[in-house]
Chain A
Amino acid sequence: MSLRSMDQLLALYYREVTKVYLSVFTLVVTIVQPLIWIVFFGSSLSGLPTFFLESYFHTNNYLSFLLPGELSVSSISMGMMASMSLVQDKRLGYLKRVMVSPTRNYVIFLAKVLGGATRGLIQVPILLVAGYLMGAQIAFSAYLFLWVTAVFLVSMGFSSIYFMFNATSADWQRPGLIMNLMTMPLMFSSTALFPKEFFPWWLKLISDVNPLTYLAELGRLALIQGAFDWTSFIALMGFAAFFLAIGAVVAEYKLTPE
């Protein structure tokens, strides 16, 4: 990537990110939404008998189990914001302004997916602190940061998928539809909410190729045990790299200005 492209990426990325911070409402809701999730869903199972929690979730605190899972799931939804921002730019013509300039399409693509992932990143420290205050186990180690990096990159991977669906379209309905389409099956076929021991065999198979499983498990390892699994980490990098590469190619050849 040339110096020129870096400059262009910086400007477009700045524009994406300021949108979040300029709106107090957006900022507050981005933070409050996962908190609500944690508080309600986390509490719903917290009263389970300790022996059950330990044998089923391998922790005496469901919140400890849920927190990395929820943060992993949120990596899917952040891509929606990136592609809605793309739709908005198509509808208001801003994308034309950018595409008339000597900016390569993959730079536009990177700015969008980086912007979406950054949006998601705001939630991470808030949720970790809130979870900690509510009694979740959090091991503060370098692995924690590595895991957050993985969440960021997987967010970019998912954002790329959304981007591809809206590369040639300015249909505002698509981002929401795609989020619903991806979130439910990916969430329930992963170990983000429940461990896979009691999954039927076919769900286990899906769970084993589901990136959310790896992300959630890696998070649990890092947060609860202060340990890490490099194989999962590399697999997640592979997932992100694969979809980023496809997204960049789709952007280069297929992105339409409106």
Chain B
Amino acid sequence: MRAILLENVTKKFGDFTAVDGLSFHVDEGEIFGLLGPNGAGKTTTIKMITGLLRPTSGRIEVLGMDVTKETMRVKERLGWVSSEVILDDDLTAMQNLWIQAKLYGVKNWKERAENLLRFFGLEGFKDSKVKGFSTGMRKKLEIAMALLHSPEIILMDEPTVGLDVVSRKAVWEVITRVNKELKVTVLLTTHYLEEADSLCNRIVIINRGKKVVEGTPEELKNSYAYDVIELESAVPLKLNGWDVIYSDGNKYRIRVKDAASVLPSLIMEVGPQNLRKISVKRASLDSVFISLTGLSLEEAGGIDERKLQMILRRARR
């Protein structure tokens, strides 16, 4: 059984089509990434899976249940972590967990809540008001809340947006542990390519509500990504037969499939005595996105500064 299945899902807001005929599935036990620039339709997709929004057309199944028909039963099996940090600042960590437990009808919630706080290293703060928590702590508490009712699937909308590098790495580790140790299927959205690359088993890239490509990070890199060799020589070069994508004086950028296997022949052709500098940029999901859409993520949507600031402001309140 698929954990999540989307079939030809479309969501329109008036004339604007936010999600356009999107299909993909998430297998049980994997970390699946929904990747795309801002405004690509990621959050709308997540909202439709949680039942917050109804699709205009198409079909969404969670654990074999139709979301629009069995909304309440689906909600019981899903955990959700928002892109904004949503906690009640006036209450303590335990009070926030208590409300969550009541909303989901969790029995023996106290024991479970304490275990989760320990799992995330927050046990020392259980009776502290959330007001004083750092953004990283808030995120962890949110994830703990999402896991309180033991969902099979957890949906994370931009789990690391607005976090500094250290907190981001910490959240990555948390996500991996949740997936491996607690056996929870994870669907996350992100516009950080390296995040999808290092966390996800499989990803789907979407742009303007449409699926661009789907596969494992490796597959995508193998089929769409190129290494770039940057070299500077002492003399002008001809480089016939090489895919030169950029040149400036005696500096060249060459696009190749696999830099490691062609470097020796390239060096031989240029002549080691002419070579001043040589460096290799390995293929990444960034280059996948560029080669598929012609644009970098920043150019396609960029980081929404206003939204980011809003999230940060909320988180620091």
Q: B-contacting residues of A (Cβ < 8 Å)?
A: 4, 7-8, 10-12, 14-15, 18-19, 22, 92-94, 96-104, 257
Contacts and interface: CB of A to CB of B under 8 A. Distances in A.
Contacts of A4: 105
Contacts of B102: 7-8, 10-11
Nearest to A101: B103
Interface of B: 50-52, 72-73, 75-76, 78, 80, 82, 84, 86, 88, 90-91, 98-100, 102-105, 314
Contacts of B104: 101-102
Contacts, number: 58
Nearest to B311: A93
B160 to A, nearest CB: 17
Given A7-B105, A10-B102, A11-B99, A257 B90 contact: no
A237 B119 CA distance: 51
A74 B290 CA distance: 62
Given A4-B105, A11-B103, A101-B75, A94 B88 contact: yes
B190 to A, nearest CB: 19
A8 B75 CA distance: 14
Contacts of B91: 15, 18
Contacts of A19: 90
Contacts of A92: 84, 86, 314
19 contacts: A8-B103, A11-B103, A12-B99, A12-B103, A14-B99, A15-B99, A18-B90, A93-B314, A96-B82, A97-B86, A100-B50, A100-B52, A100-B75, A100-B80, A101-B103, A102-B73, A102-B103, A102-B104, A102-B105
A93 B90 contact: no
Contact of B98 (A11, A22, A98): A11
Nearest to B71: A102
A96 B86 contact: yes
B108 to A, nearest CB: 14
A99 B103 CA distance: 10
B103 A98 contact: yes
B241 to A, nearest CB: 56
Contacts of A10: 102
A26 B98 CA distance: 24
Contacts of A103: 103
A94 B73 CA distance: 21
A199 B202 CA distance: 75
A15 B76 CA distance: 21
B103 A96 contact: no
Given A100-B52, A100-B80, A93 B99 contact: no
B159 to A, nearest CB: 15
A106 to B, nearest CB: 13
Contact of A96 (B52, B72, B105, B314): B52
A246 to B, nearest CB: 23
B90 A97 contact: no
Q: Which 6 pairs, one residue from A and one from B, show the smallest C-beta to C-beta distance? A: A11-B102, A101-B103, A102-B75, A93-B86, A11-B99, A100-B80
B143 to A, nearest CB: 13
Contacts of B314: 92-93
A257 B84 CA distance: 14
Contacts of A12: 99, 103
A102 B76 contact: yes
Contacts of A11: 98-99, 102-103
A4 B106 CA distance: 10
A226 B263 CA distance: 100
A12 B98 CA distance: 10
Contacts of A96: 52, 82, 86
Contact of B52 (A7, A94, A99): A99
A98 B200 CA distance: 28
Given A8-B103, A93-B314, 4 more contacts: A12-B103, A92-B314, A93-B86, A102-B104
Contacts of B76: 102
Nearest to A19: B90
A22 B129 CA distance: 12
Contacts of B51: 100
Contacts of B78: 100
Contacts of A22: 90
A4 B52 CA distance: 20
A104 B105 CA distance: 13
Q: Pick from B50, B100, B103, B104 the residue with the most CB of A within 10 Å.
A: B103
